[in-house]
Amino acid sequence: MIDREQLLEELIEIGLALTNERDLYALLDRILEAARRFTRAEAGTLFLCEGDHLRFAVVQNDLLERKLGKSEMQQRLQAEPLRLSEPSLAGHVAQTGALINVADAYASPFFNPDVDRATGFRTRTVLCLPILDRARRPFAVMTLLNKHGDGAFDASDERALQVFAASIGVILETWNEASKTRRRGREQMGEAALGSARAPS
């Protein structure tokens, strides 16, 4: 069973980090790490939805990192975007907006083993769900791989991750809005400074 207090603590910590974190990828890395921790997932990926493809934003895989090193692992996994026209669990979730829990990855018609072949990793179990914006459109997909132990992800993992993802959607939208506000502020300051420099003395 998922510890609900632990889940709440994770969300509070991420919400607090939001006020100081200016790097989107650092925030996404923290989000994925928290999701892996409370579902006991061996690895995970967070994709951003961009038109007709998914972009690997954050990849965490302790086994591959030990085997390949972090930079080589990221290079292999993040080099190419994942096209929605190709079969994949993450692509299926991005297009349907529905969570999918797979107890045997290689038995799923949506699973694409190309990454396993390229890295030597063996995907067994998968829990994959969308992160939705306020309009209920997927703007990111979180994929968790291989629950530690012999079992698959269960209903309590699903419920906890859905609560987590709903809150994360709000957090990321807030971060994005704050980022746009900061960017506009910098642009206005730059324009003001440029106008002052051009003004006759």
The total of structural domains in the chain comes to 1
Residue 154 is assigned to a structural domain of this protein: yes
In a domain, 85, yes or no: yes
Q: Percentage of the chain surpassing pLDDT 70?
A: 75
Average pLDDT over residues 130-147: 88
C-alpha 173/C-alpha 11 separation (Å) is: 15
Per-residue confidence (pLDDT) for residue 172, from 0 to 100: 72
Whole-number pLDDT of residue 108: 96
- Residue 86 inside a domain? The answer is yes
190 domain residue, yes or no:
no
Q: What is the pLDDT of residue 21?
A: 58
Q: What is the CATH number of the domain that holds 106?
A: 3.30.450.40
Residue 37 belongs to some domain of the structure: yes
Cα separation, 161 vs 164, in Å, equals 5
* Residue 146 maps to a domain: yes
Residues in a beta bridge with 169 = none
Q: With bands split at pLDDT 50, 70 and 90, how would you rate the model's confidence at 195?
A: low
Domain residues for the domain of 116 are: 4-178
Establish if 189 belongs to a structural domain: no
Residue 54, in any domain of the structure: yes
The per-residue DSSP string of 163-193 comes to: HHHHHHHHHHHHHHHHHHHHHHHHHHHHHHH
pTM: 0.79
Contact 139, 165 (CB under 8 A): no
